[in-house]
């Protein structure tokens, strides 16, 4: 049985996506490990390391000594259960000795956020004002001022948005000039052999694992289909530029042959 998302009108997509993530929230982290054979952890590590969040020595020396650099405000959109947020804070603290910069985790789904809050109790950031949780649709971040964010991250989130271009424009609005937009998302595999293996895994094994482990085949079927429909690396660069960002070369970084990709842009 299919979720039949192809035939879902735009107006209903949001609530269908909501139902998917409410259903998968409690098993989400386990399922990620199983479905990706733990590789999503490596991609997320790579993503955060490549962004080098937090104030670092180079930031400090390029800023005039009269005005000490301000702590950064990092925004993790579609932050779900906190995987990216925890990594951002760990990197800022452990690698850059930045104990001030803070992360706002935002997600449209309260069930995902409450899983994240629960998980945060086992991190050093439990109860810290460096970590906050906000329920919001990425297409309308009305709680955030213009030009208030230093780094915007979105990992495996944007393909679920009804209006991706609106979300990119909202990212542009909330970022400060010089601020970075960074996206980690499933993408297109170049190599035919790898693509064959990958497609067989995703269309065959993932819905089955979803059924057996999470008791929910349809949600995982949806996730696989949404990956299929997401634009190619090159097309997505065009959408980022369309929102006003500058995309420096190389315009993206493929991970595991393009199963996932990192895109970055900065607000001029
Ligand atoms: N970033 C996390 C990670 O990498 O593990 C979670 C990714 S999860 C696959 C996708 C998330 O996107 C879900 O938590 C879902 O609720 C959220 N989401 C879907 N549509 C959204 C929207 N319009 N605005 C904000 N978040 C949304």
Residue 258 CA, distance from chain mean position: 16
Cα angle 264, 139, 28; round to 5 = 75
Are 130 and 103 contacting, i.e. CB atoms less than 8 angstroms apart?
yes
In the structure encoding, which two tokens stand for residue 144, read together? 């955030």
Candidate ranges 5-19, 60-74, 229-243; pick with highest mean pLDDT: 229-243
Per-domain residue ranges for the chain? 39-189+231-266
Determine whether the shortest distance from the Cβ of 224 to ligand 1 is under 6 A.
no
> How far does the centroid of ligand 1 lie from the alpha carbon of residue 131, in Å?
18
What is the complex's ipTM, to 2 decimals? Answer: 0.99
State the chain's mean pLDDT as an integer.
92
Q: What phi, psi does 132 have (nearest 5°)? A: -135, 160
Determine whether the shortest distance from the Cβ of 86 to ligand 1 is under 6 A.
no
Candidate ranges 3-12, 66-75, 258-267; pick with highest mean pLDDT: 258-267
β-pairing, 260-266 vs 252-255, is: antiparallel
In the structure encoding, which two tokens stand for residue 167, read together? 């979300």
Matching CATH number, 39-189+231-266, of 3.20.20.80, 3.40.50.300, 3.90.850.10, 3.40.50.150: 3.40.50.150
Determine whether the shortest distance from the Cβ of 161 to ligand 1 is under 6 A.
yes
Reply yes or no on whether the pLDDT at 6 is more than 90: no
Q: What is the pLDDT of residue 29?
A: 86
Cα angle 41, 47, 52; round to 5 = 125
């Amino acid at each position: 049985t299919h979720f039949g998302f192809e035939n879902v009108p735009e107006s209903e997509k949001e609530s269908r996506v909501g139902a998917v993530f409410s259903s998968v929230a409690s098993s989400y982290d386990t399922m990620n490990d199983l479905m990706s054979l733990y590789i999503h952890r490596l991609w997320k590590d790579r993503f955060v390391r490549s962004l080098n969040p937090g104030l670092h020595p180079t930031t400090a020396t390029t800023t005039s000594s009269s005005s000490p650099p301000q702590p950064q405000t990092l925004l993790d959109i579609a932050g779900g259960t906190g995987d990216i947020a925890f990594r951002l804070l760990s990197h800022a603290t452990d690698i850059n000795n930045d104990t001030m910069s803070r992360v706002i985790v935002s997600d449209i789904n309260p069930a995902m956020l409450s899983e994240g809050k629960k998980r945060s109790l086992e991190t050093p950031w439990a109860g810290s004002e460096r970590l906050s949780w906000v329920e919001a649709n990425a297409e309308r971040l009305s709680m955030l001022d213009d030009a208030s964010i230093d780094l915007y991250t979105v990992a495996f989130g944007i393909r679920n948005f009804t209006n991706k271009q609106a979300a990119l424009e909202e990212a542009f609005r909330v970022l400060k000039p010089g601020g970075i937009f960074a996206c980690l998302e499933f993408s297109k595999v170049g190599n035919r052999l790898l693509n064959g293996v990958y497609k067989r895994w995703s269309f065959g094994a993932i819905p089955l694992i979803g059924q057996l482990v999470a008791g929910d085949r349809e949600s995982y079927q949806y996730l696989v289909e949404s990956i299929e429909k997401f634009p190619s690396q090159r097309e997505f660069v065009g959408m980022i530029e369309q929102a006003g960002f500058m995309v420096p070369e190389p315009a993206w970084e493929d991970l595991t042959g393009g199963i996932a990709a990192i895109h970055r842009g900065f607000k001029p």
